[in-house]
A and B are shown apart, each in its own frame.
Chain A
Amino acid sequence: MGKRTIIPIGPYHPLLEEPELFKLYCDGEIVKDIKWETGYNHRGIEKLSESKTFDQVFFLVERVCGICSTSHPFAFANCLEEIANVEVPNRAKYIRSIIGELERIHSHLLWLGLAGHFLGYNTVFMWAWKYREPILDLFEMITGNRNSYAMFKLGGVRRDIPNQLIPEIQKHLDNFIPKLDLLTGAVMDDPVIHARTKGVGVLTKQDSIDFAAVGPTARASGVDIDVRRDDPYAAYPLVNWKVITAEAGDVFAKTEVRLLEMYEAVSIIKQCLEGLKKEKEGETEVIVKNVPAGMGTGRAEAPRGEVFHFMITDGGYSPVRHKIRAPSYVNIATFKKSCVGQTISDATITLAAVDPCYCCTERMAVAYDYYDHKPILSGIDLIKCSQQKTDDIRRKLL
């Protein structure tokens, strides 16, 4: 064993958006071993959850991650509805799936941009994020927020998607497909990107199973898992779609899986919109009076993989125990196999390729009259204000 240098990646490093420390034990440029320290960002959400009511926990778990801010409420809703034994109306199922898939598109685009940035290809970074903008506009139109959508509640969703909005959403999606084609072409056909990503950070199928990797990380290694199909929830059993897998297990395969998943997501949303037209407007929830004592689990496929929630209730208004497992936590462990033996340049893009997520928060706003405590702006007014503000900012920048 020769002399080894420790190359620190983090806790604050341009490669990472959230604080995390990776220590690369290097011999020259070759990474011989890797160790990591997490826990810089611990916020005690599970403990906090025990002091909140079920309705409040939805907003709390939404803030576990700013990018997959729907997948945690999704899993939490599945969990709570299992305990309360509630069947959600079809319209709410479709709306839930639409939000989940829109989030997948925006999250994968965000990752694609960041991956370009990590490779020094800042043009891909800027382009991917520019094309992500219409998706965020779509979110603003449907939910009123660009991030942290606050759409989920026990027994359904908080807001309906009015049928008159459906053609406009379809138009947005149709406009999005050519842009996605452009990005896919730019990434999949670039010989230099091939040289940088093919055969880099390979995670074999066996390693992927051994380390219990989830989501695109596992699917790129040929492990055919997807919670949406294996443990059906929301509207996923009602529409036609397929699980994307690749065999190679390298960074390129992970990119490929994510790019193709975006096409699947667009197709799922379109089918859900068709399904929405058949359901009666306004039937978006069932009223749940109380949650009985019990135990339950909920799973949801986040853009990064399986989100798992476990909860114990005692018939009161709050969880007695709430356990969350986020996908990045399991995927990070695969670095032990995929990074060792690579050069530093390869190790950094491999670290980024599982898409460890970071947090950004926004708050819900309601305008009340100070004296008689009546709401003075309706939801639609607030959305208009929000869109107006976005437009103003955009005009100022251009």
Chain B
Amino acid sequence: MFNDIFHFLVFPGLLFVATVGGILAWADRKITAMVQFRKGPPSLQPFYDFLKLLLVKETILPAKGSKITFLMVPVFSLFGATIAGVLILLPSLNIQTGFSGDLIVIFYLLAIPSLAYMVGAMASGNPLASVGASREMKLIMSYELTFFLVLSGIILKADMSIGINDVMHAQSQSGAFIGSLSGVILFLVAIFCLQAKLGLVPFDMAEAETEINHGPFIEYSGSAYALIKLTKYIMLFILPAFIAALFMGGLHWQGIDILWSILKILAVVVLLTLIRNTNPRVKIHQAMRFFFIWMNLFAVIAIILGMFGI
């Protein structure tokens, strides 16, 4: 019992994922600044942002919204992301999670933050937020199927095992999945899904600062917004970690492998950042067409290739 609470709150739970997520958020902003000939923020800036919002700024509640739902949303999204993070990171620390189907559970847990943002936007009663929520809903509907197809491909390649542990084990025996053609295709599809899940350009239409003023988050302020920011930091760590575990031979935390694990996650984050800095935002129906037709098609092709062992 005590162990579980420790795992959830400290390592590899809330404290750890939030800290690493903050550092990665800084890396994202620093790389963006370098691409754009700017200087970029100091290394602790994401933590300053978070602490200022949490401790200093006033939390303003919408007068015409549903206040309890509105305030529960950041808590839900934070817990969803943290539990997903714990389940992703525990297998790489050689700690048994007690059940073998954690891939499916993680898939559902990773969807919680996006769903929560949607509920929060609806609860705030702001027209711009509701436009954002409707876009978020359409976006979830389009990328979740693709993401599930990617996971199916992984499960197929790992001989029908649905645990992260087994997937990593299969990779240590037959080489990382990204080494095969079907693995590369699945990896690229997964990167675009990540881009949409994280709400980065070109799939940031739900937030779209210059169109609808950060959509779902427009009414959030103070500590409620601090928790949302923290969720975003965490997602920026655990999603690349998830992809690294599934495609790049897994994460290991002994000896020299620690360095490799960090490099793998960093490589995924750099890739995401570069995509976000070299594209304009697409429209929601363009994004839906992109996922429904092209990404699903590629995922299915990859699965078929995977069946033949290519």
Contact = CB atoms under 8 A, between A and B. Distances in A.
B35 interface: yes
A-side interface mostly = helix
A114 B284 CA distance: 21
A345 B38 CA distance: 28
Interface stretch (B62-70, B206-214, B231-239): B206-214
Contact of B127 (A6, A13, A192, A348): A6
Which of A26, A122, A130, A397 counts the most chain B CB atoms within 10 A? A122
A345 B283 contact: yes
Contacts of B39: 397-398
A195 interface: yes
Contacts of B201: 120-122
Contact of A348 (B135, B211, B277, B280): B211
Interface residues on B, range: 20 to 34
Interface of A: 5-8, 13-15, 26, 28-29, 116-127, 130, 190, 192-193, 195-196, 343-346, 348, 397-398
Interface in B34-67: 35-39
B144 to A, nearest CB: 21
B204 interface: yes
Contacts of B285: 343
B279 A346 contact: no
Which residue among A6, A119, A120, A345 has the maximum number of chain B CB atoms within 10 Å of its CB?
A: A120
A126 B280 contact: no
Interface of B: 32, 35-39, 127-128, 130-131, 134-135, 201-202, 204-205, 208-213, 277-286
Given A14-B213, A195-B286, A120 B128 contact: no
B269 to A, nearest CB: 17
A15 B210 CA distance: 5
A26 B212 CA distance: 13
A189 to B, nearest CB: 13
Contacts, number: 87
Nearest to A26: B131
B282 A7 contact: no
Given A345-B211, A348-B210, A5 B283 contact: no
Nearest to B204: A120
26 contacts: A7-B212, A8-B127, A15-B211, A29-B134, A118-B210, A119-B210, A119-B280, A120-B204, A121-B201, A121-B279, A121-B281, A123-B278, A130-B37, A190-B280, A192-B202, A192-B279, A192-B280, A193-B280, A196-B281, A343-B283, A343-B285, A344-B212, A345-B208, A345-B281, A345-B284, A348-B210
A118 B201 CA distance: 12
Contacts of A117: 210
B65 to A, nearest CB: 16
B38 to A, nearest CB: 6
Contacts of A193: 280
A222 to B, nearest CB: 26
Please name the 9 residue pairs, one residue from A and one from B, whose CB atoms are nearest each other, closest first.
Answer: A120-B281, A126-B36, A119-B280, A121-B280, A118-B210, A348-B211, A120-B201, A345-B283, A14-B210
B277 A122 contact: yes
